Amino acid sequence: MTEMLSATPENIARAAQVIHNGGLVAFPTETVYGLGADALNVQAVARIFAAKERPAADPLIVHLSGMEQIGSVARTIPPIAEKLAKTFWPGPLTLILPKQPAVPDAVTSGLDTVAVRVPDHPVALELIRVANRPIAAPSANRFGHTSPTTAYHVWDDLRGRVDIILDGGETSVGVESTVLDISTSPPRILRPGGITREMLEAVIGAVTVLRQQRTIEEGLPSPGLLKKHYAPHSEMVLFVGENARETLIEETRAAHKAGKRVGVLALDEDMEILKTTGAVVYRLGSDESSIARRLYAGMRWLDRQGVDVILCRSLSESGLGLAILDRLVRAASRVVT
């Protein structure tokens, strides 16, 4: 049985008790909703993997209510981590740190490191504080699916599999936290997210970005090799490069003519012309923060419209654009250059 509750102080206290007793609580953060359990309870952590159908080899992020809790999960805090934490916590930055033995292998998939962050959301912070436990939480979606940015998204994916969903409205950032490995020199972004490369570099100097096999610069592998993640149910096609806008419009028209129900994740500047194509259009906005905030909701909304295919085009790789492009590339079954 899953209860969906508004995030009142009383309901947060109930949810904290559920965490304390080894149960599962989905809760809002500033990025996406998390599926939380007591990070120090092996059985509770196992329930997270079961609920999401997530492979055990994919480690979880441990959420803290503040720096003062960090000693319970991390063995040492290098000066650079301290500097980053002071600047960006609470916020969408996840740091990879040497782990305390008390953190179960289930959380870290047997790694000697643990991923840690302090979320910038009053409900998340209150839940962790009242539960008085570090909370392990991946995004609260079925494995491989689009991350949830509303409580209803969580309900769609995980009802019957989680004890409580705390409804705290829409999340504000919309894409996941930046995962940063500080064990290398220079530090390396493992997953681009809410704290941009530029923001990190302003504080600690040069930062590199781990390039997955699926980047535009290095050339894309053949479609069969693409591993879908953060993905809607419909097939998704991403247009990149100089002619992305023209190709997107052309292919939208062509697919519509061929009798397909076409969905488009649209930038504001493309809205007018897309109205003439017969497509079902979801408006993402014009600036990166709006696009990031609306991206996953848009994928889910188009899925619900029963479209056969979702088309979209990329924007710049600067700022939040890097995280947006990363998610689009991973969600796409085909990238057209």
Give contact residues for ligand TXA (rule: CB under 6 A): 29, 31-32, 34, 58-61, 92, 94, 96, 108, 111, 113-115, 119, 137-139, 176-177, 179, 190-191
Q: How far is the CB of 138 from Mg ion (least distance, A)?
A: 5
Q: Cα separation of 327 and 287, whole Å?
A: 16
Select 74 or 267, whichever has its Cβ closest to ligand TXA: 74
Select 60 or 238, whichever has its Cβ closest to ligand TXA: 60
Q: How far is the CB of 191 from Mg ion (least distance, A)?
A: 9
Dihedral angle, C-alpha 218, 223, 229, 230, nearest 10 ° = 90
Select 139 or 314, whichever has its Cβ closest to Mg ion: 139
CB-count exposure of residue 4 (10 Å: 0-12, 13-18, 19+):
middle
Give the bridge partners for 285, in sequence order: 267
Q: How far is the CB of 26 from Mg ion (least distance, A)?
A: 13
Q: How far is CA 285 from CA 232, 282, 289, in A?
A: 19, 9, 9
Name the binder of 178 from Mg ion, ligand TXA, none, CB < 5-8 A by kind: none
Q: Cα separation of 188 and 89, whole Å?
A: 18
**One-letter amino acid of 288:** E
Q: How far is the CB of 11 from ligand TXA (least distance, A)?
A: 19
Give the bridge partners for 235, in sequence order: 309
Select 179 or 295, whichever has its Cβ closest to ligand TXA: 179
Name the binder of 179 from Mg ion, ligand TXA, none, CB < 5-8 A by kind: ligand TXA
Residues that bind Mg ion (CB under 5 A): 139
Name the binder of 252 from Mg ion, ligand TXA, none, CB < 5-8 A by kind: none
Give Cβ neighbours of residue 316 (< 8 Å, ≥ 6 apart). none
Select 114 or 264, whichever has its Cβ closest to ligand TXA: 114
User: Cα angle at 106 between 101 and 107, to 5 degrees?
Assistant: 75
Name the binder of 29 from ligand TXA, Mg ion, none, CB < 5-8 A by kind: ligand TXA
Is 39:134 a contact under the CB 8 Å cutoff? yes
Q: How far is the CB of 246 from ligand TXA (least distance, A)?
A: 34
Select 58 or 250, whichever has its Cβ closest to Mg ion: 58
Q: How far is the CB of 267 from ligand TXA (least distance, A)?
A: 24
Q: Cα separation of 32 and 326, whole Å?
A: 16
Q: How far is the CB of 33 from ligand TXA (least distance, A)?
A: 7
Strands 34-38 and 3-6: unpaired
Name the binder of 115 from Mg ion, ligand TXA, none, CB < 5-8 A by kind: ligand TXA
